[in-house]
Amino acid sequence: MIIRHNGLILAFDVDWDTKRSIVFLRGIMDLIDAVKVGWLQLLNIGPNGIKELTSGINTYFLADIKLGDIAHINEYVIRRLRDLGINGVIMHAVTGRENLNGVAKLSRDLGIDIFLLISMSSGGELYDLNLDYNVKLGTELGIAGFVVPATKPNIIRRVRSMVGNNYQLLSPGVGVQGGKPGCATASGADFEIVGRSIINSESPREVTLSILSAIKDPRC
């Protein structure tokens, strides 16, 4: 479970080296509840670099590789990510129950949270056609929560109404993709996930603070 102080997760989509990454993160760590890393880190600083980040910064690290393979590969990846200091992992729902059952149990045993992707901030029409099925699947698997798009507030509301308060809803698509800051949490998400609006800004701390004010006092 991600502890909610501010309601904001940084999508840390950068190809920077670990030194630059750590300096940047230290500048805004008090404002964000988790750091989402993924392919950009894997392909640039690699697993050892990710381990340096997770050792150097004291926060919740979410790995977003949108994992979606057969069971034994999924399970291998989860174990490796755990060794790198990762706390939560985003997985595709689309691979279905047989590929997710074992990994959900393994993750609980290892203390890793699984967040299931069940709708996408752009496209994702096959997901949206099967929304209720995938939400039900996630609740039966015993995962930590779901990824729901800030660009589709009706889906956030629908998923929240289905799962109650027992699951965390993480919402990407805020800022560059069109979601207005504060409106995904106002629709029922626990966290907004923001990347480029913060990372590419000249003053990331100020932008982050303005997103936090919108989360506290949404105008949607």
Per the CB < 8 A criterion, the answer to whether 178 and 153 are in contact is: no
- Residue 128 CB partners (closer than 8 Å, separation 6+): 119, 152, 155
Question: Which single residue brings its beta carbon nearest to ligand O7M?
Answer: 195
Catalytic site includes residue 136: no
Which is the catalytic residue, given 15, 30, 33, 69?
A: 69
Number of other CB atoms surrounding residue 213 within 10 Å: 11
- Residue 133 CB partners (closer than 8 Å, separation 6+): none
Site string for ligand O7M, 48-67 (x = CB under 6 A): ----------------x-x-
Q: In angstroms, how far apart are the furthest CA atoms of the chain? A: 46
* Interface with ligand O7M in residues 77-96 (CB under 6 A): 90
Q: Which two tokens stand for residue 217?
A: 């006092």
Site string for ligand O7M, 97-136 (x = CB under 6 A): --------------------x--xx---------------
Cβ closer to ligand O7M: 49 or 195?
Answer: 195
List interacting residues with ligand O7M (CB under 6 A).
11, 13, 36, 64, 66, 90, 117, 120-121, 147, 149, 170, 172-173, 175-177, 193-197
